[in-house]
Chain A
Amino acid sequence: MSKKLVEVQNLKQYFHAGGSLFKPKYVKAVDDVSLFINKGETLGLVGESGCGKTTLGRTILRLYEPTAGKIIYDGVDITKVNMLPYRRKMQIVFQDPYASLDPRMTVGDIVGEAIDIHKLASSKQDRRDRIIKMLEHVGLNSEHANRYPHEFSGGQRQRIGIARALAVNPEFIVCDEPISALDVSIQAQVVNMFEDLQSELNLTYLFIAHDLSVVKHISHRIGVMYLGKLVELAESNELIFHSAHPYTRSLISAIPIADPKTARKSKRIVLEGDVPSPLNPPSGCRFRTRCPYATELCASQEPELREISSGHYAACHHLDKVPNN
């Protein structure tokens, strides 16, 4: 469990966003993020839209070239190497099952494409067997291989997306909001499938979602992002029950709890305002414009992510002011 499979160090991903030639403007989508994921572990990543969680996931796979920083996979620095051999080991499941499957390809070909690229099949028969095995893994069957994506429901399409990721026997999968587009009763089916596949195939996940209750359910550890920064990282239960950062606090309290009695008792911390534009983030601590504890120190100095208890990291100047819960 304790072997690091994926590690990023001071990863930065800036997108060019206009400005003049000599004074270009950048969106700092991911800014100086360091984290690691152990083998066989699920790391959850939560945050509001625009906080950079998807960009971080994609940059780890080098679908975007990082602006600065290092990506280390299984002890090897892969920031600059040819990715082809690593593409087989690192896969992704996308958010929208309606947009991420080519409508003109059969399901068999969608799943088989990666097998062809990596030349994993020794014969036509072997290719077909592999495809069927993958479809069966995700709860579909062999006759589905000849059909087209439009014939499937959202939940089934997401299963096809997962089968495609699994086809090359990967070790690490980035799950980018894989269940947000699904109905409640179908979400549980897909979440369970992710868990079963993990224990069966010893997979490592980076699970990105905005729904904290789902992330908490599936992850061993959770990272919270705000405007391109990692603000808190801890083991799941620790993060939910003993969160330290004021942003995490408000994020947790904003979630409507599906239990009327608790809901009547609990008092929400409602954050004022919207997330500031990442083009022009606040100086110092980026959360200070919405933070109830902000002081002058927060405006001038950026808080560092530091370990507050074993394995629990938070970036805030005023952790002592945040009341215990």
Chain B
Amino acid sequence: MSELLLNIQNERLSFFTPAGEVKALNDVTIQMKEGDVLGIVGESGSGKSVTAYSIMQLLPHTGRVVGGTIEFNGHKINEMSEKEMQAIRGNEVSIIFQDPMTSLNPVYTIGNQIREVIMLHTKKNRKEANERAIELLTLVGINEPAKRLKQYPHELSGGMRQRVMIAIALACEPKLLIADEPTTALDVTIQAQILELMMELKDKIGMSIIMITHDLGIVANMCQKIAVMYAGKIVEYGTVDDIFYNPQHEYTKGLLRSIPKLNDTEHKKLVPIEGTPVDLLNPPKGCPFAPRCNSCMKICLNKMPEYTEVNEGHISACWLLQKKEFEQGGK
């Protein structure tokens, strides 16, 4: 099993709030090999960002992993101390946040913020770090890098700032890059630039990427594997083609039906998923999607379904599949 870069087994994570325990992740299992690009899609509150933050150990103090293991590149992340974690974070695994406007420190220059990472994780001195910083800015396609290093974040546009964030994340050539909605705050033309850049750099450096997004278009373009999350659970997991052309879970199907397609010539009415996402403070007993599901059965309301393997590497947690399998097996 040593070839697995990331191995999350049955992770359960809760936030302990004054209002009660919020079960943000329920038995999340993710395995990634080197060079994989995994997309995690889901609505806000589905736990996609929390999964990423728990790999980085960047959770607020109310959040605790209450079960399962996270292994990354041979490290048992959930048993590590903060000090040990600091050696890995930004070095072997780094993250790009959603909002480039707020994730850079406004009172330090760009150069200062890039050098900080380099000097913390390598033995380079200030001058060498500066050279490396210029190299990185060139890599992410920023012109006049030497001049930019002396500038402050407010002097750059949104797309530029996100490039700087990428430069910081790549400073130590991480094995895994987590991108948490990296382009949501940007315009489509800038989004295209950033995504193109990420894919280019992935091949150059040979890293793996976890792409967290709610945009199905982005995962269709970038990823090999997709995990669809709903209410803290991975409800379906498979290759891009499995998810888009052979979706099994009712939520995935609903999601695909609800987005307008640019290349449709006729006007088809959208089929929305009715209702609102679940309240994780009082999660339903059974399948969390059951209250919004069109094919909901009695058992769905009472018991959480197990995963069914549809074909190799494509799994989905839905009672309908269990039923189908049972009927086929019964004959």
Q: Do A and B interact with each other, yes or no?
A: yes
Q: Are A251 and B276 in contact, with the CB atoms below 8 A?
A: no
Stretch among A22-30, A54-62, A96-104, A253-261 lining the B interface: A253-261
Q: What count of chain B residues pass the 8 Å CB interface test?
A: 44
Q: In whole angstroms, how far apart are the Cα atoms of A210 and B258 in the complex?
A: 18
A310 interface residue, CB < 8 Å from B?
no
Which residues of chain A in 172-208 are interfacial with respect to chain B, using CB atoms and an 8 Å cutoff? 183-189, 191-192, 195
Q: Are A192 and B262 in contact, with the CB atoms below 8 A?
A: no
B131 interface residue, CB < 8 Å from A?
no
Q: Are A241 and B265 in contact, with the CB atoms below 8 A?
A: yes
Contacts of B263 in A (CB 8 A): 240, 257, 259, 262
Kindly supply a per-residue 1/0 record for chain A positions 230-263, scoring 1 wherever the CB is within 8 Å of any chain B CB and 0 otherwise: 0000000100110000000011111111111111
B257 to chain A, nearest CB (A): 8
B197 to chain A, nearest CB (A): 9
B304 interface residue, CB < 8 Å from A?
no
Q: In whole angstroms, how far apart are the Cα atoms of A241 and B159 in the complex?
A: 28
Where chain A touches its partner, the secondary structure class is: helix
B241 interface residue, CB < 8 Å from A?
yes
Q: Are B220 and A257 in contact, with the CB atoms below 8 A?
A: yes
Which single member of B188, B214, B244 contacts A183 (CB below 8 Å)?
B214
Q: In whole angstroms, how far apart are the Cα atoms of A275 and B256 in the complex?
A: 32
Kindly supply a per-residue 1/0 record for chain A positions 270-285, scoring 1 wherever the CB is within 8 Å of any chain B CB and 0 otherwise: 1100110000000000
Stretch among A3-11, A74-82, A106-114, A211-219 lining the B interface: A211-219
Which single member of A48, A185, A259 contacts B258 (CB below 8 Å)?
A185
Whether A188 touches B258, Cβ cut-off 8 Å, given contacts A256-B217, A258-B220, is: yes
Q: In whole angstroms, how far apart are the Cα atoms of A253 and B221 in the complex?
A: 12
Q: Are B274 and A263 in contact, with the CB atoms below 8 A?
A: no
Q: Which residue of B lies closest to A269 (CB)?
A: B192
Q: Are B190 and A258 in contact, with the CB atoms below 8 A?
A: no
Q: In whole angstroms, how far apart are the Cα atoms of A187 and B214 in the complex?
A: 12
Q: Which residue of A lies closest to B239 (CB)?
A: A260
Which residues of chain A in 151-188 are interfacial with respect to chain B, using CB atoms and an 8 Å cutoff? 153, 155-156, 183-188
Q: Are A185 and B273 in contact, with the CB atoms below 8 A?
A: yes
Q: In whole angstroms, how far apart are the Cα atoms of A212 and B192 in the complex?
A: 14
A94 to chain B, nearest CB (A): 19
Range for the number of chain A residues in contact with chain B: 35 or more
Whether A258 touches B192, Cβ cut-off 8 Å, given contacts A210-B187, A241-B265, is: no
Q: Are A252 and B262 in contact, with the CB atoms below 8 A?
A: yes
Q: In whole angstroms, how far apart are the Cα atoms of A270 and B259 in the complex?
A: 24
Q: Which residue of B lies closest to A237 (CB)?
A: B265
Q: Are B261 and A258 in contact, with the CB atoms below 8 A?
A: yes
Q: In whole angstroms, how far apart are the Cα atoms of A214 and B217 in the complex?
A: 13
A150 interface residue, CB < 8 Å from B?
no
Q: Are A183 and B277 in contact, with the CB atoms below 8 A?
A: yes
Q: Are A189 and B272 in contact, with the CB atoms below 8 A?
A: yes
Whether A185 touches B272, Cβ cut-off 8 Å, given contacts A48-B187, A217-B267, is: yes
B59 interface residue, CB < 8 Å from A?
no
Contacts of B193 in A (CB 8 A): 270-271
Contacts of B291 in A (CB 8 A): none
Contacts of B189 in A (CB 8 A): 48, 250-251, 254, 270-271
Q: Are B188 and A210 in contact, with the CB atoms below 8 A?
A: yes
B62 interface residue, CB < 8 Å from A?
no
B98 to chain A, nearest CB (A): 14
Whether A153 touches B262, Cβ cut-off 8 Å, given contacts A254-B189, A255-B217, is: no
A146 interface residue, CB < 8 Å from B?
no
Which single member of B43, B192, B265 contacts A185 (CB below 8 Å)?
B43
B130 to chain A, nearest CB (A): 25
Contacts of A306 in B (CB 8 A): none
Q: In whole angstroms, how far apart are the Cα atoms of A189 and B188 in the complex?
A: 23
Could you list 12 examples of A-B contacts with CB < 8 Å? A156-B276, A183-B214, A184-B258, A185-B277, A191-B260, A213-B260, A216-B260, A256-B217, A258-B261, A259-B220, A270-B189, A270-B196
A183-B44, A187-B272, A261-B241 given; 12 more Cβ-contact pairs under 8 Å: A49-B187, A183-B214, A184-B215, A184-B216, A184-B258, A185-B43, A185-B277, A189-B272, A213-B259, A254-B189, A255-B262, A268-B196
Q: Which 9 A-B pairs have the closest CB atoms?
A: A256-B217, A188-B272, A217-B260, A188-B258, A254-B192, A185-B273, A48-B187, A189-B272, A258-B216
